[in-house]
């Protein structure tokens, strides 16, 4: 954990933090990109955690000198993910932190995912109404590792960044929290996990 201010608010990433969605996302990504002739390697997928789908598609297409309608392909990928939503499980140890602090601290979700997909996940695991605000890719123009989603969450919560603690599972998200001046817990290094 980094940072040392007194915590007044908790900000949670969703994918890979509140939900164990990353393997499902990868399956959705792989199937969708193969339809377009692009082999999207698993290690690269994880390295791009927190980057919006449209941005990833634009990047992958440019590398192959292809023209793809990034918005349409992103919609395909998100539909493939939602088809597998029934498989989604919460990450119980992180969801427990949110449960224990519900009504005690201000709380937000800040994600590089799209609003419909993030809301569907939160509803599926039964916590959509626990958060004071939800910030998604549509709410900022710059995305992780830029700090904008976390700063927007803090602004909406009315809490100074130094008094926010972020729970995050991706290197780009951890860097975004650092740039925002917030404490950050890398959930991949959770004790006992």
Is residue 3 domain-resident?
Answer: no
Do 81 and 143 reside in the same domain of the chain? no
Average pLDDT over residues 61-72: 96
Task: Name the pTM for this structure.
Answer: 0.92
- Contact (Cβ atoms closer than 8 angstroms) between residue 168 and residue 17: yes
Do 51 and 143 reside in the same domain of the chain? no
- Contact (Cβ atoms closer than 8 angstroms) between residue 57 and residue 37: no
> Domain of 43: which CATH number?
1.10.150.240
Do 73 and 37 reside in the same domain of the chain? yes
Domain that residue 158 falls in: 9-20+89-189
Tell which of 58, 86, 114 closes a domain: 86
How many independent structural domains does the chain possess? 2
Average pLDDT over residues 71-95: 97
Residue 66 in 3-state DSSP?
Answer: coil
Tell which of 60, 86, 112 closes a domain: 86
Tell which of 63, 86, 109 closes a domain: 86
Is residue 116 domain-resident?
Answer: yes
- The pLDDT score that the predictor gives to residue 51 is 86
Do 181 and 103 reside in the same domain of the chain? yes
Residue 1 has pLDDT above 60, yes or no: no
Q: How confident is the model at residue 3 (pLDDT cuts 50, 70, 90)?
A: very low
Which tens digits make up the pLDDT trace of 42-63?
Answer: 999 999 988 889 999 999 999 9
* Active site residue ranges: 13
Average pLDDT over residues 158-177: 97
Helices (H) and strands (E) in the chain, counts: 8, 5
Average pLDDT over residues 151-171: 97
Average pLDDT over residues 128-156: 97
- The pLDDT score that the predictor gives to residue 85 is 98
């Amino acid at each position: 954990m980094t940072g040392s201010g007194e915590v007044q608010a908790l900000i949670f990433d969703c994918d890979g933090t509140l939900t164990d969605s990353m393997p499902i996302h990868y399956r959705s990504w792989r199937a969708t990109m193969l339809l377009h002739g692009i082999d999207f390697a698993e290690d690269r997928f994880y390295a791009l955690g927190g980057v919006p789908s449209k941005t990833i598609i634009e990047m992958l297409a440019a590398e192959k000198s292809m023209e793809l309608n990034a918005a349409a392909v992103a919609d395909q990928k998100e539909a493939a993910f939602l088809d597998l939503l029934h498989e989604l499980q919460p990450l119980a140890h992180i969801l427990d932190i949110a449960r224990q602090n519900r009504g005690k601290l201000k709380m937000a979700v800040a994600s590089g995912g799209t609003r419909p997909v993030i809301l569907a996940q939160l509803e599926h695991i039964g916590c959509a109404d626990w958060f004071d605000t939800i910030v998604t890719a549509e709410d900022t123009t710059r995305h992780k590792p830029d700090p904008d989603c976390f700063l927007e969450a803090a602004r909406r919560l009315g809490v100074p960044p130094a008094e926010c603690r972020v729970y995050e599972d991706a290197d780009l998200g951890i860097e975004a929290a650092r740039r925002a001046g917030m404490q950050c817990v890398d959930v991949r290094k959770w004790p006992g996990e």
